[in-house]
Amino acid sequence: MPTKHDGPTSATSSNQTPDSASLRDSAKSRLYVLRRAVAEDLEQLNDLEREVFPTLWPPTNFAREIKKTGQAVLVSSVQSAGAQSPPGGRSVSLVERVVGGIKTLATPGITDRQIGDGVAGWAIVWFVAGEAHIASIGVAESDRRRGVGELLVLGAIEAAAANDCDELTLEVRESNDAAQALYRKYGFEIVGERKGYYVDDNEDALIMTTPDIREPDYAAKLAELAADHSKRWVEAGIRFARD
């Protein structure tokens, strides 16, 4: 299931840590909420894709992607200091979902607060015949190196498991070492390549695939990684939630 898209330009490799002091100054107490994309996000998604992938052609038709069945369009919206957790009580963490059985991400009830929030990143995940494919993923420049790319990867894995997929695949630029490091952290391995895959500069793409994400060992490792992800960023004043 090939696409034109690169890996997350925001990818933080597993051995990188946030600079807490600088992030407190720039990000304050940000809350990034992972949720399904809705029509109210379209303008921001279109603008953000042009920022992240300025040479991409044709651009993604997000309006069509959101309406399609058999896939998920996830966004990470950013809320400023003092933001509350999503409505409906305590947010259920990915760790709890993994331990208790992963459930499908529900389309959220949209509030004025959510509509007004900025979209920090997105991921499009296709589900076909027991396999999930990360077709597109990107993060705003202003929100990079804050764990947002990793949050989207976690969400993509969660959505794949919830839709009875055994594995995830993706393509990533051969030169994108940071994205490859992030993917390897989550069990992706290089299984092939696509020559001249990226039309803007004819760069090759590496094909990466996870092991069986429904195996207990992988689910346990995923829970560890999700917990570490949240803990690693809390000192920088950054929180994560799922709607």
Catalytic residues: 171, 183
Q: How far is CA 147 from CA 13, 126, 180, 239, in A?
A: 10, 23, 15, 10
| d(C-alpha 199, C-alpha 208), whole Å | 19
- Secondary structure (3-state) at 154: helix
Q: For residue 155, which amino acid is it?
A: G
Tell me which long-range contacts 85-92 makes (C-beta under 8 A, separation of at least 24). Answer: 85/31, 85/241, 86/33, 86/35, 86/114, 86/241, 86/242, 86/243, 87/111, 91/241, 91/242, 91/243, 92/242
| d(C-alpha 62, C-alpha 70), whole Å | 15
- Contact yes or no for 193/2 (Cβ under 8 A): no
Report residue 64 as tokens.
């069509």
Segment holding 221, helix H or strand E: helix 216-234
Burial label for 228, CB within 10 Å (0-12, 13-18, 19+), is middle
